Amino acid sequence: MTGIWTAAQSDENLGRKAYINVRLLDPATGLDVVCDATGGMLTDGEEIVEFGAGIFKSGMPDSAEIIDCGSHCLSPGLVDIRVQVREPGYEHKGTIESAGRSATAGGVTTMVCLPNTNPVIADMSQVEFVARRARKIGLAKIYPYAALTEELAGEKLTEIGILAEAGAVAFTDGDKAIANAQVLRRALSYARTFDLLIVQHPEEPSLVSPGGMNSGETATRLGLPGIPREAEIIMVERDLRLVEMTGGKLHFGHISTGEAVNVIRQAKARGLNVTCDTAPPYFALNDQSVGDYRTFAKLSPPLRSEDDRLAIVEGLKDGTIDAIASDHAPQDADSKRLPFTQAESGGVGLETLLAVSLELYHNKAMSLLEVLAKITYVPAELLQLPAGKIAKGAAADLMLFDPERGWQVKDTDLTSKAKNTPFDLRPVQGVVLRTIIDGRTVYRLEDE
Amino acid sequence: MAKSPKKSPYSHRHLLGIEGLSVQEISYLLEKSDEYVGQNRLSDKKVETLHGRTVINLFFEDSTRTRTSFELAGKRLSADVINMSVGSSSVNKGETLIDTASTLNAMHPDVLVVRAGLSGAVKLLAEKVNCAVINAGDGSHEHPTQALLDALTIQRRRGKLQGLKIAICGDILHSRVARSNIYLLVTMGAQVRLVAPMTLLPSGAENLGVEVFHDMKEGLKDCDIVMMLRLQNERMQGNYFPSIREYFHFFGLDYEKLSVAKPDALIMHPGPANRGVEIDSEVADDYSRSVIREQVEMGVAVRMACLDILSNNLQQELQEGAE
């Protein structure tokens, strides 16, 4: 599939647009309504003005551009809260522009990027750089996380109060865990002063063998070092105690084990201020995907057992896992074309976020709106982003998609500069036809 | 045996802390202190009250203002005052502290004024001596004469303590000044607020009869008194806050944050102030608002009153023992 991108121009006159013949889906309100040519959505400039069946009954508004949606689904654009853009510092792996193209091809209108760039996002100018670059490129909206500790070293807190004022939405050391309990304790406590959220990569580093995969039969058979599930479970359990102790707010990124889901479920029942997300590989793949040393299946945390995968699906169903994030981690070919132990971890995910998430719907684990909730308004609310909802006056950030249409993931077909998808050759269903940001179509599938 | 008719309303041998003192006891200490303020403004500041008595200032921790204040107080009362500074490195063990105490005790001092780096060390020492002991600050526990001088300053300016809205801001966690002030002001009926980042608030602070805030503008709203605390970097290990810049940005007292307090709100600081850290120089030096110098003046009077009262109590105890 090939698409057409049209980056935003600052001086263009958007006017009014009427989307007709469309099934409107808004998970935040439970809206699911099929509109014929007399209904749909009206946008004016960058905002949603009106939506619903029959809104155009008394005729089309003057001078509105009419977009026939061919009875496809129009929903809020996706909100992806875990993306590595690699710029600045690692432009050979990915750039803000490349991430913007991938995002919009995947229906993502808002993404939140990790601070593990070079330099690390740890001062006001870095926070502003990301926002400014994203605006200039005119594709998906980008909000930055800022580093929680200086140089992501896990020791000294960054100026999180000042960084939050500059626009950092939450604080994390990216793909590194805050290993020192006292540092995380103080961070949670200090962040509570300003009601700020900390995002943890839950993995006890001393239990992680470098270059490994999930401990278990496959690792044993391949002779690879094992990363035990307990590395995640121990860190989650410890951190939950620290949340309880400090009254702070913590979000766990990419939960991958069933036992972590269990302890988070119990913590939520106790009323702790804790949330979590997972990524598509952890509910769609297991450690057998490593197969014959496939480095594209080398992720951090590693792909787990089938039991864990099923438990992640359960966690998504019962709401223990609040959100799904793509965990987009582009790697250049050279850093994956290595012996498994030496290869870098991570997979690209922006372009497969929708289709792989929709497997939960096609497999009848969740309803279409329930799946969309995990990738729209719920993650937006976690980070207090103005996104992920269809509402009058809200930004017209939308995705037009066909949830049924099938396609096959091929690494070479990806828009992304990096091609390292763990879903290579997987048949999936769900195609993004059009991505609309601030009222203008920035991406359109070519045959649409 | 007839009881002494001159039994003072403050009948303790020591002054180790404010916690547990009654309204009457505190009022009496303040009343006596107030009497000494006038005397300190005369050209002849000396009286014979403690003639022949020995006061030892035993400081296990560096101090300039408190030690000088106690020394002056003792001298103006005609006591013989000795200053002993013991380097903190030589007193790391309780054993050594008690050794020092019993050595000094053998010299028959009347009052020992003790500052120690460790909480509870002054009380331990007081248990081992026959004289009166004044706590001149122990670790993060109490600094009773500081609270008394703060209260005296407020009372002379506002005529009362009861009902005043008083914000204590900054490094509460490490502050003995904050603890003594909280006990005193809450006992005397003031409405005390603590304003600090979460990391600089001791756990359970909200159980001390105070209101807790994490935002200066919320905490300072309509306050009569803004009491700033010194950021005690020397007691901090690790991440209590990220940087001085950020601390000042959110918790440093400047005119902007002060604007929500009452227009005539007084600014206090126990000194020494870290300018540009917890307080803007402009504010610290605004003598229409800042009573920092007055606090120092009240300090001498308060310490004279305490030395006077405790020496007197000790004398009575000895007399009663002899009778």
Flag whether A92 is in a domain. yes
Catalytic residue among A26, A287, A308, A327: A327
Nearest to A252 by CA among A331, A189, A312: A312
Q: What are phi and psi of A165, to 5 degrees?
A: -65, -30
pLDDT confidence of residue B221: 98
What is the average per-residue pLDDT within B62-74? 94
pLDDT confidence of residue B244: 92
* Same domain as A154, residue A144: yes
- Write out pLDDT tens, residues B76-87: 999 999 998 886
* Same domain as A162, residue A28: no
Query: Are B241 and A190 in contact (CB < 8 Å)?
Result: yes
pLDDT confidence of residue B72: 97
* Same domain as A343, residue A213: yes
Number of domains in chain A: 2
* Same domain as A270, residue A301: yes
Q: How far is B241 from chain A (nearest CA, A)?
A: 7
Query: Are A161 and B239 in contact (CB < 8 Å)?
Result: no
Flag whether A112 is in a domain. yes
Residues 6+ apart with CB under 8 A from B265: B220, B223, B224, B225, B226, B258, B289
Contacts of B240 in chain A (CB under 8 A): 186, 190
* Same domain as A405, residue A364: no
The CATH number for A270's domain is: 3.20.20.140
Flag whether A322 is in a domain. yes
Flag whether A388 is in a domain. no
Strands B132-138 and B111-116: parallel
Closest Cβ opposite residue A193 in set B197, B243, B249: B197
Decide which of B90 and A14 is more confident. A14
Query: Are A157 and B198 in contact (CB < 8 Å)?
Result: no
pLDDT confidence of residue B90: 59
Q: How far is A156 from chain B (nearest CA, A)?
A: 6
pTM listed for this prediction: 0.92
Closest Cβ opposite residue B242 in set A160, A192, A247: A160
Residues of chain A with pLDDT under 50: none
The Cα B275–Cα B272 span in angstroms is 9
* Same domain as A81, residue A68: no
Q: Which residues pair with A249 in a beta bridge?
A: A197
Residue of B171, B172, B198 to mutate, testing the A interface (most A Cβ within 10 Å of its Cβ): B198
The beta strands (E) that lie in A107-180 are given as 108-113, 141-144, 146-147, 171-172
* Same domain as A234, residue A166: yes
Query: Are A186 and B240 in contact (CB < 8 Å)?
Result: yes
Q: Structural domain of residue A361, as residue ranges?
A: 77-382
Statement: residue B52 has pLDDT above 90: yes
Residue A161 at interface with chain B, using a CB cutoff of 8 Å: yes
- Greatest alpha-carbon span in chain A: 70
- Dihedral, B83, B89, B90, B96 alpha carbons, nearest 10: 100
Share of chain B above pLDDT 90, in %: 83
Statement: residue B170 has pLDDT above 70: yes
* Same domain as A210, residue A61: no
Query: Are A193 and B238 in contact (CB < 8 Å)?
Result: no
Residue of B171, B206, B244, B246 to mutate, testing the A interface (most A Cβ within 10 Å of its Cβ): B246
* Same domain as A24, residue A85: no
* Same domain as A258, residue A353: yes
Query: Are B249 and A161 in contact (CB < 8 Å)?
Result: yes
Flag whether A391 is in a domain. no
* Same domain as A236, residue A196: yes
Residue A220 at interface with chain B, using a CB cutoff of 8 Å: no
Contacts of A193 in chain B (CB under 8 A): 197-199, 214, 250
* Same domain as A329, residue A236: yes
Q: In this prediction, does ipTM exceed 0.90?
A: no
- Write out pLDDT tens, residues B112-163: 999 999 999 999 999 999 999 999 999 999 999 999 999 999 999 999 999 9
Whether residue A327 lies in the annotated active site:
yes
Q: Which of A382, A406, A437 is the last residue of a domain?
A: A382
The CATH number for A63's domain is: 2.30.40.10
Query: Are A157 and B242 in contact (CB < 8 Å)?
Result: yes
Statement: residue B47 has pLDDT above 60: yes
Comparing alpha-carbon positions, the chain B residue that sits nearest to A159 is: B242
- Write out pLDDT tens, residues A186-237: 999 999 999 999 999 999 999 998 889 999 999 999 999 999 999 999 999 9
Flag whether A323 is in a domain. yes
Comparing alpha-carbon positions, the chain B residue that sits nearest to A194 is: B214
Flag whether A387 is in a domain. no
Query: Are B198 and A182 in contact (CB < 8 Å)?
Result: no
Flag whether A203 is in a domain. yes
The beta strands (E) that lie in B19-67 are given as 54-59
